[in-house]
Chains A and B, each alone.
Chain A
Amino acid sequence: MNSNDIKPVPTSQVDASCRLPLLALLGGSALWLVLGLLLELTASLQFHAPGIFSCCPWMTYGRVLPAANDLLVYGFAIPTGLGVMLWVVARLGQVELVLPLVSFAGANVWHLGVFLGTLGVLSGHSTGYAWFEYPRVAAALLLPAFMLVAVSAVAAIGQRRIRDLYPSHWFFLASLLWFPWIYSTAFVFLLVWPVRGVAQAVIDWWFASNLIVVWLSLVGLGISFYLLPKYSGRPLEGRFTALFAFVTLLLFGSWLGIPQGAPVPFWLPASSILAGLLFSVPVLVVAMVFFRTVCGAPDGCKGGPFCQVKFGTAAFILSGIWTVVQACPQFAHSTLLTTFDLGRIHWQIFGFFAITVMGAFYELFPRVMASPLPLPRLPRFQHWFFISGALVLAASLAVAGLQQQSADFILAKILPALRASSLGWTLLFIGSLIFALNVFIMTILWAVGIIKTVVGAIKAPLTVAEVKP
């Protein structure tokens, strides 16, 4: 197909075509973000008052924590990532989004799955596998839901007017293939035909690390590689460099996750150590692309989405360095089974991913809805709440982790650091409320607008032509 055969579509029309699926994906995920952070706060409250939920099984730490973590990843991160991805591929292809109803349906099934999963975990039906706690019914819904959205995204990529793939396309295509693969592997080997013994743990680690390190990085970097050149007003520096970052991220990132000292054959943690050290390659290359594209850009960031995407991408580099440092055998040994790794995971989710997609969100949402943000001053505050929250959270968990082993795992000695993480959750929670406020007001205004149009159409006086027989 020659691109000249197709009439170019105005940008506003491209944006408008994404409206329905994006509202479903992002609106739901904003709700899950608020709820997930509320549950994280509930869990961390128990570091201050351990007996507080003694009579309420639904609120006990061991149930609330996985429910909250899953809400943040499955409820917030994945649908938001998918939503932003749909808009970026439509924009890159300069075509209207294909099959919007399919992705709309997918988004709703996804949210239903997250809802059932959260209920399942809170009511004590967790599967017991970290980052894969949703019971079978809910887990079974997520896979087809993802596929529906993925079909829409792949179709949009297929329809693109500019035939050469842009680097963001590689990252998105990979993420669309990656998730079904890792998720179905975990589903089959853990829930349908569970394997015996510690092989379960190995598969769970592999899945969780591929989800949090690889999947989130693929989507987050795909988004930032699209937005950074737009904002900085110069092309992405080095297509080949980006390709190198892409391939090495896939090759080395996918082998991470098996902790050292685990009761498994030694070659498994050893291969993760090697992959962790080699992970420095994609991190360095992304840093190179980032600095070359952004440094000395004619327009600085003035508190807008550019700032957020820039911060998010820089946070990826920090998260990558954290991964590499943690792979060093000596260091890993002194932080084994502590909260140190938890700090890295939350930094990856909030510092890098959430802040990047939020920048993209403030960029796309007013365009997609064809009206300005109802509260345009709030995003700046939200950004600062998220930055400070993510920093406090990651730092407190890291400090607690560094103290833990020398404190002989006696909790009282690391309690101040652990309690400081509650402050991080509080800041993130306030930020999420500010974020959700804009989303919800916008959605309500849109719904009211539609109702008004329909009512107006019904109430409109009949035209002369219709009255005549």
Chain B
Amino acid sequence: MTPEQEVEFCEYVEARRGALLRTAFLMCGDWHRAEDAVQTSLVKLYSAWTRTRRDSAEAYTRRIIANSLIDESRRGWFRRERSFAEPPGPTAGEHTHDDRLTAVAALARLPPRQRATLVLRFWEDLSVEESARILRCSVGTVKSQTARGLQTLRALYENADFTGQGAPS
């Protein structure tokens, strides 16, 4: 990697790392796991940087983050290793303590793939096709996962009591 390419890489990391971390957190609910996934994706991106188009770097890192988090949860590793978050601290803006706990608990109830699909579609604002490419599944699967995820959340909000369930999934 030339000096210029390494500088570009560092600039990319500085610029995008925060957003990638938030996306990863929404997918898994644990800041430590989110950071591990982001770091892993960026280390792999470094190796591929000289052969990666800048405009495809984002999709590349998202793909690694999403699939590593989904794979971990399917293997059960995440379930064993997860660390339960500290009690939430001061809230920001209009969001209350209860809002956050409720949101985290609701997301924790979603299966990992549904959750990742919703994050890509509605947090990252990606199209169905782009989401399918990142999740390495068909367009039809993204559509059905989206519908099922929305349905699950709707049912949770209508019927469930989230008290004390603000744990990552």
Q: Are both chains from one complex?
A: no
Please give the residue numbers on chain A whose beta carbons come within 8 Å of chain B beta carbons, in ascending order.
none
